[in-house]
Amino acid sequence: MRKNSNKAAKVNEDVFRTLSLILHDEVKDPRVDPMKVSLTDVEVTADLKLAKCYISVFGDEADKQNALKGLKNSQGFIRHELARRLNLRNTPELSFLLDNSIEYGAKMNKLIEELNIPHEAPDSDNEG
């Protein structure tokens, strides 16, 4: 969808909100742990045929791959629930992609903190 379209923003927001609820409350696959998997963004195409769903997974690489497999397994159920809850002309085909931006941000914060070495404040008592 066009980036500046109000309708596109509303559809993206509705799909994002509904998918978040479905992932958290409805998906029963143990690989999709709601405490580890979170939806970070959704981009729906203008014709409502495809939705790119970006997810963040807390854990190691094996956890991430397992979560993706679990989501792929549950894809039909998730799409069915999305169609049931939203009144859209077409229910988009879901594509789940890993979003590493949170992990990247945490890594950058750690590097910045390592550079910020505390400096001692000069004592006004030792002016000698």
> Are 82 and 27 within 8 A, CB to CB?
no
Q: What is the pLDDT of residue 126?
A: 57
83 within some domain = yes
Please write the tens of the pLDDT for every residue from 40-79: 999 999 888 999 999 999 888 899 999 999 999 999 999 9
Strand partners, 56: 38
Which residue in this structure is represented by tokens 């890993």? 98
Q: Is the pLDDT of residue 32 over 80?
A: yes
Model pTM above 0.85: no
| Encoded tokens for 94 | 């879901």
121 within some domain = no
Q: Could you tell me the pLDDT band of residue 118, with boundaries at 50, 70 and 90?
A: low
How many domains does the chain divide into?
1
| Angle (nearest 5°) at CA 57 between 74 and 72 | 20
DSSP 90: S
Q: What percent of the chain has pLDDT over 90?
A: 53
The residue segments making up the domain with residue 80 are: 6-115
Q: What are the start-end ranges of the H helices in 1-128?
A: 6-25, 61-73, 75-85, 101-115
For residue 84, the domain's CATH number is 3.30.300.20
